[in-house]
Amino acid sequence: METRESETREQEERKALLSEYRKILRVANFNKNDEQARLIRKAFDVAQQAHKGVRRKSGEAYIFHPLAVARIVAEEIGLGKTAIICALLHDVVEDTDLDIDYIEAQFGKKVADIVDGLTKIEEVFDQSKSLQQENFRKILLTLADDVRVILIKIADRLHNMRTLESMRKDKQLKIASETLYIYAPLAHRLGFYNLKSELEDLSLKYKAPSIYDEISTKLKKSKAVRSRFINKFTHPITKILEKDGVHFKVESRTKSIYSIWNKMRKKSIPFEEVYDVFAVRFILDVPLENEKAMCWKIYSIITDFYKPNPDRLRDWISTPKVNGYESLHTTVMSPTGKWVEVQIRSKRMDEIAEKGFAAHWKYKEQTHHEGALDKWISRIREILEEHETDAIDFVDDFKLNLFAKEIFVFTPKGDIKSLPHNSTALDFAYEIHTELGHHCLGAKVDKKLVPLSHKLESGDQVEILRSKAQHPIPEWLDFTVTGKAKAAIKAYLKKEKRKKAKAGEKKLREAFDALSIYFTDINLNALSTIFKTATVTDIFYRFGTGSLNLTDIERLPRENGVLQLKKSRKGNGIKTLEEIVEATRGKKDALVIGAGQRKLVYKIADCCNPIPGDDVVGFVTHEGVISIHRISCENVVPIMSNHGYRVIKARWGEEQQIAFQAGIEMSGFDRTGMVNEITKVISNEMDVEMRSISFDSTDGVFTGRVLVYVNDTAQLKNLQEKLEAVEGITKVNRIE
């Protein structure tokens, strides 16, 4: 009975799957027997087999997810075969046993590369939230490789947002926030207005359910009133257009819930006072060459009936937005005294507005800005390639660009440049060229002299004045808004800082010499701790600028040339053993300590006194000496985390001709002759030389410490065992 039931369920599921699959072929316009369709079918079969038996949180078979993503990719983004195949396979490498080599063998390199990109994006997203900004940068870098990776990722996220209901509450919040922070702006920047709005609305739905419900209810309730109003408003215009034989359609689109909420919040007004809750859209079916003239003709008809607000005329036809958007917008006064936004555009422009760059590719031959996507990507590249900017700055700078509205200004030769809203003359200079920015003295805007902080407006003609004596200063960051300008200024300042730090390092060396402090990493790191700087370079920099000097160091507690931190254990000075070491950067990339042909300077760290046999790492100090630490040493973790690039693998060579210092600690019950016996044990041990010994005894219980020279851990262990055998000794440990 039960088997039969589950059999039927399986059959039904299979039917549903096939129907979903066929829909993809249909929207992508493939015939079942096409060669193209055959490959898509193969991807479908591979994915289905790979995800077999796995179910999503909602209970449905996992394969429905890649199917849905593939459909979004085909239908809503408008991509073709390769993207559909990659969408079907997008979770296969991440979640199943199939690997990227298999994908490449079955579907070729292009598909494998995209799936690989998708898997990697997934991996970085799985990590903690603090990594998020770095991820963003990675996403954009991937984008430059193949924009399909990012489009499929957006589709994947959209489907996950559409099915977020079945997730745990905390997961919902995390995913919704991330969507709002990264995916919606990305979709917007790529020109996918619909996807962006849906992502934002769904995020709001999970982040602030009550606000979402309230606005969507109000929108539904006001729907009938709105359509009556729109019919009445458009009626006189449509009558004329029909009479003139113009092919067109009228649409009205309400603003997204998220953008209504944004407006309410920004202007602190109730829902009822958001006047542009909807826009009326005239979409004309006209040949490309008549587009512009026809759009303006409609504009003229509309404004014959209704009075336009001159401040709200937007001509995105003569100058399309960077994301490719073209349209003519105006806001007019209706007879009832209500402002109404009217958008006028051709069918082609409408498709671009909805589907973004995918539609651009479709119209590539017809439009004059085919290179727009390439231009956008190369702009991102420019910013990314300023490696001086770190990831967090980058996101901040980049987000500025994402959200800012654009202005259009002209070069003296009449070339048009688009810049974010609030851009200054200095931004403009950097937009033209980094060097021009660095030496920007001021500008002439429409022939009038202005300072470099002057805010530009659309239509300004800008001429930059330069001087060789001019250089970037930190204050410039306050009045630049473009990512490009900020990145260039920061890179310059960083370079300057490095120069100052170099000079500071010299001064500090002199100060240390004067105070007989060793110029070692331990001391430099100690300074960094004492003066709370992020890196040792910051210490150098402060010496370079004079904000730290000799007197500041003079005050610090120090002993035998080593600076003392409050908690630090007393050291007995740095001793630099120069020995022959062999750097084998071969297979294991390890430094071999011991006999060899090449001479490298190394020293045994006195904080942990490693001896042959211990697991060790090398650390390249400022002096170029390799300092050898035990892996268990408490200084290793901070060094690794702050100066990971300076850490090198190290291991001991076969033969050691020198002895190494090690400490042993022991305790037990005191008795007469104990010390004597211990020293006898040590000195009877072959090759072990004693450096120091100390004992302490209270109430019959003693503790003792010996420092010895040994060749390796084996010898040390042997000694420890012999000491343990001494009557009365209960514990023997190596000093860590």
Residues labelled catalytic: 94-95
Q: 109 is written with which tokens?
A: 């390199």
- DSSP-derived secondary structure for 433-464: -HHHHHTEEEEEETTEEE-TTPBP-TT-BEEE
Question: Do 135 and 124 form a contact (C-beta atoms < 8 A)?
Answer: yes
Q: Supply the minimum distance, in Å, between the C-beta of residue 157 and Mn ion.
A: 8
Nearer to Mn ion, 91 or 200 (CB): 91
Nearest to 300 by CA among 266, 330, 263: 330
Q: How far apart are CA 409 and CA 432, in angstroms?
A: 12
Residues 6+ apart with CB under 8 A from 715: 685, 687, 688
Q: Distance between CA 234 and CA 564 in Å, rounded?
A: 82
Backbone conformation region of residue 703, classed left if phi is above 0, alpha if psi is from -120 to 50, else beta: beta
Q: Which one among 39, 71, 83, 91 touches Mn ion, defined by CB under 5 A? A: 91
Residue 91 or 116: which CB sits closer to Mn ion?
Answer: 91
Closest distance to Mn ion from the beta carbon of 91 (Å):
5
Name which of 91 and 614 has its Cβ closer to Mn ion.
Answer: 91
**Choice between 91 and 431, CB closer to Mn ion:** 91
- Residue 686, C-beta contacts closer than 8 angstroms, at least 6 positions apart: none
CA distance 73 to 63: 16
Site string for Mn ion, 105-144 (x = CB under 5 A): ----------------------------------------
Beta strands in 258-319 (DSSP E): 278-284, 307-308, 314-315
User: Minimum distance from CB of 29 to Mn ion (Å)?
Assistant: 25
Alpha carbon distances (Å) from 287 to 290, 384, 645:
6, 40, 61
Q: Strand runs (DSSP E) across 242-338, as ranges? A: 248-254, 278-284, 307-308, 314-315, 328-333
In DSSP notation, 70-95 reads: HHIIIIIS---HHHHHHHHTTTHHHH
The window from 156-164, 523-531, 541-549, 665-673 that contacts Mn ion (CB under 5 A) reads: 156-164
CB of 47 to Mn ion, least distance (A): 11
Candidate segments 150-158, 201-209, 343-351, 378-386, binder of Mn ion by CB under 5 A: 150-158
Kindly compute the dihedral angle of the four CA atoms of residues 322, 325, 327, 331, in this order, to the nearest 10 degrees.
-80
φ, ψ dihedrals at 411, nearest 5°? -80, 165
Q: Which stretch binds Mn ion (CB under 5 A): 84-92, 113-121, 517-525, 663-671?
A: 84-92
Closest of 152, 155, 150, 160 to residue 189, by C-alpha: 150
Alpha-carbon distance of 449 to 320, in angstroms, equals 30
With CB under 5 A as the rule, give the number of residues binding Mn ion.
2
Q: Give the residue with the Cβ less far from Mn ion, 98 or 647.
A: 98
Is 156 a binder of Mn ion (CB under 5 A)? yes
Under 8 Å between Cβ of 152 and 73:
yes
Q: How far apart are CA 378 and CA 366, in angstroms?
A: 22
Candidates 83-91, 109-117, 127-135, 697-705: pick the segment binding Mn ion (CB under 5 A). Answer: 83-91
Query: CB-wise, 94 or 463, nearer to Mn ion?
Result: 94
Nearest to 704 by CA among 734, 667, 729: 667
- Minimum separation from the CB atom of position 149 to Mn ion (A): 13
Q: Segment near Mn ion (CB under 5 A), from 85-93, 207-215, 296-304, 705-713?
A: 85-93
Question: Where in 265-304 is the site for Mn ion (CB under 5 A)?
Answer: none
Q: Which stretch binds Mn ion (CB under 5 A): 90-98, 233-241, 346-354, 573-581?
A: 90-98
For the chain, helix, strand, coil in percent to 5 are: 55, 20, 30
Residue 63 found at the interface with Mn ion (CB under 5 A): no
Residue 63 Cβ vs Mn ion, minimum distance, rounded to whole Å: 11
Min separation Cβ 114 and Mn ion, Å: 14
Contacts of 562 (CB under 8 A, 6+ apart): 517, 518, 522, 523, 526, 571, 573, 574
For position 87 contacting Mn ion by CB under 5 A, the verdict is no
Of all residues in the shown chain, the one whose CB is closest to Mn ion is 156
Comparing CB distances to Mn ion, the nearer of 155 and 527 is 155
Distance in Å, CB of 188 to Mn ion, minimum: 21
In this complex, which beta carbon is closest to Mn ion, that of residue 79 or of residue 501? Answer: 79
Determine phi and psi for 457, rounding to 5 degrees: -125, 155
- State in angstroms the smallest separation of the CB of 715 from Mn ion: 58
Of 87-95, 301-309, 430-438, 598-606: span binding Mn ion (CB under 5 A): 87-95
Residues near Mn ion (CB under 5 A) are 91, 156
